[in-house]
A = this chain, B = another copy of it.
Amino acid sequence: MTDQADGLAVTVERIEAAGRFVLVCEHASNFFPPRWGDLGLDAEARAAHIAWDPGALGLARGLARRLDAPLVRAGVTRLVYDLNRPPNAPAAMPARSEIYDIPGNRGLTPAQRYERTEALYLPFHARTCAEISRRLALGLVPVLVTVHSFTPVFNGTPRAVELGLIHDADPRFAESLLAEARARTGLDCRLNEPYSGADGVAHTLARHATPMGLPHVMIELRNDLIATEAAQEAMAETLAPALTAALTRFEGGA
């Protein structure tokens, strides 16, 4: 399988994959490119969940192999630009994230915000659009699945949910996956937890699934469940059949 990298912002792995799912991992990386420096963060903060979604890339790759899916993934930490946010969202380049201050994002000028938008946001979403549009033009109806992880303890409060399924305007595919995941896994599965599209966290779905009328879901795994490569592989092995069954259910076959 060939990959295509459009510079730092985005790489498409398995670009020729022929399955029904298109996977996107906006928070795949905690790479801090020299161009923007370390944003004033120490090594511990740069490795923490504020910088990326730990385990999400490994899970997404495991799913991509099992589902014969392309994977559109970021190459830069979300703290330089959070690709799941529009350029007008404060969270796109946050000056604070959970308990951490981000000194390098404090007092950004409009020109600095635009420079990151142009370098990261525009190519990432142009490439995501291109991969989906190519499949649509060829007569396929892709299912857009974004793959994320969340921290078990947020602002001091533990989270019980293990698998969160979040949707944009159309809940139907997320609901199908909820039913299959509850039937097939031992996970604590919940719809629109630990947050929902109403919180503005489903931007990639809103940009690339809803305007095309595509089935979609944002998968959120609690990151303590996918902390190692072995755990990521095991979770992919669990979730891939649930996704396939959800598609069958969604299309009326179950």
Contacts and interface: CB of A to CB of B under 8 A. Distances in A.
B129 A125 contact: yes
Nearest to A200: B213
Interface string A103-117: 000000011011011
Interface of A: 86-88, 110-111, 113-114, 116-118, 121-122, 125-126, 129-130, 133-134, 136-139, 141, 169, 203, 206-207, 210-213
A133 B117 contact: yes
Contacts of A134: 114, 117-118
23 contacts: A86-B133, A86-B136, A86-B212, A87-B136, A88-B136, A88-B137, A88-B139, A88-B141, A88-B212, A110-B138, A113-B137, A114-B134, A114-B138, A117-B134, A118-B130, A118-B133, A122-B126, A122-B129, A122-B130, A122-B133, A126-B129, A210-B210, A211-B211
Nearest to A168: B211
Contacts of A138: 110-111, 113-114
